[in-house]
Structure 1
Amino acid sequence: MLVSVKEILSLYIKYNLILFLIVILLFMVGAIIGGFVVSGLSDDITSNLQSYLDNFYHFVSEDQSLDYHQVFLSSLGYHITLLGIIWLLGITMIGIPVLLLLVFLRGVAFGFTMVFLLQQSSFQEVIMAMISILPHNLLFIPSFFIISVASISFSILLIKNQLRRKSIHLMPELINYTLLFVMIGVGFIAGSLIEAYISPTFMRIFLQYL
């Protein structure tokens, strides 16, 4: 009987529930701190960021030669690089602190971005913020959680194996670990496509009715 991807993912989360809770909690703490950072920004920095945001909205609404392909390549390049770094950290026994720091910093960046965008004065700008940041992050953030947990879990497995009197053969685990990252890589491709082509299109359609 074939096991669906949903069932596999459900079992994986159940098996690694503690690690998922730690990663999500650390991300949320980072997001809260990122939100507080926004309130501490100087008026000049806030004004510059607001001006940049307004220019971006105007750029998108006027369709001023937006290079969708370049946006896609930039987003995909960033996320594939992140994927590779997290994979490499997982095959070491000293990568766990760095992984936890990455989760925290990703939370800070997300919290900062969300709070800054949500502080816009009008309802239309809040909707624009949601359209511009949420669609692709609905794929990116869960995928980021999964690979972070997988990397920490594999690193723990290496540590346990090192402490055993008799080492076990880790090649099958390494293959499964790598295949999971390949699957998440496909998700990153989908997220980058949404970020580059779908989100700007929705933003342009919405801006036409403002």
Structure 2
Amino acid sequence: MKNFITNFDLKNKISENLVLYIIVLVCLCTGIVLGIYAVKYMGSFERNDLTNYLSNFMVSVDKSDAKNLEVLIQTIKNNIPVIIIIWFLGLTMVGMPLILVMDLFKGFSVGFTISFLMKELGVQGIGISLLTVIPQNIIYIPCIILASVFSIEFSLNSLNKNNYKNSKDNLAVQILSYTSTFVAIIIFMCIGFLLEAFITPNIIKLIV
């Protein structure tokens, strides 16, 4: 329990792993920039397909075809596997590069979505981005950052055999503490899941 609480002493964690936080943030921001440029240089065929999909989605929401439970399930499917993969990569000794790649893709997804909405829908796209894309990502992105840093830290520590020289029990305790951190992150992300499933569709209906 002591280790679990220590993991969430964010002030100390940030100061101890400041370089890791900077690296993760750089990857996320790089992904966002790449997502923005991907929209700018996207071909007309791909743009038309995405525009048609977006229009159909907004019409279905406006007609109350979107079911909150289905949206919740899909949201969980989209996010939980990412956290689980990051958790698993932290247990390996070569997880850091792959974790950073996942952060890059997360940033790309956010940047692409916001940029596409603003480019194709104008003022309405700005409203949709501010009210339906950014709010849950204010929760998701810090969770991804924390998960990535904890995972990279654990992965780097696993390279140092001195950390685990005492006994297998010591390793088991560290893995349990590491896992409990991710459970807490997932629980916190549930706020975003509920927001995206039950609040976002109603906001889109108001905007439409």
CA contact (8 A) 1:120 1:126 kept: no
Please give the alpha-carbon distance, in whole angstroms, between the structure 1 residues aligned to 2:153 and 2:81.
20
1:136 aligns with 2:131: no
Aligned length: 200
**Alpha-carbon shift at residue 81 of structure 1 (Å):** 1.5
Deviation readout 1:32-79 (Å, 9 max, x if unpaired): 11211111111121122112212222221221x211101101111232
Question: Which is further off, 110-119 or 136-145?
Answer: 110-119
Tell me, which stretches of 5 or more residues in structure 2 are unaligned? none
CA contact (8 A) 1:27 1:104 kept: yes
Tell me, which stretches of 5 or more residues in structure 1 are unaligned? none
Deviation readout 1:126-179 (Å, 9 max, x if unpaired): 20232221111111111011001110000001001x2x4982433332222111
Backbone CA RMSD of aligned residues: 2.1
* Higher relative helix content: 2
Which residue number corresponds to residue 41 of structure 1?
42
SS at match of 2:9: helix
Q: TM-score of the superposition, structure 1-length normalised?
A: 0.87
Within 5 A, what are the aligned runs for 1:1-210?
Answer: 8-63=9-64, 65-160=65-160, 162=161, 164=162, 167-168=165-166, 169-207=170-208
CA contact (8 A) 1:68 1:196 kept: yes
**Alpha-carbon shift at residue 18 of structure 1 (Å):** 1.0
CA contact (8 A) 1:89 1:99 kept: yes
Q: TM-score of the superposition, structure 2-length normalised?
A: 0.88
Query: Which segments of structure 1 move beyond 3 Å, counting only runs of 4 or more?
Result: none
Question: Which is further off, 140-149 or 125-134?
Answer: 125-134
CA contact (8 A) 2:118 2:124 kept: no
Please give the alpha-carbon distance, in whole angstroms, between the structure 2 residues aligned to 1:59 and 1:105.
28
The residue type equivalent to 1:68 in the other structure is N
CA contact (8 A) 2:86 2:147 kept: yes
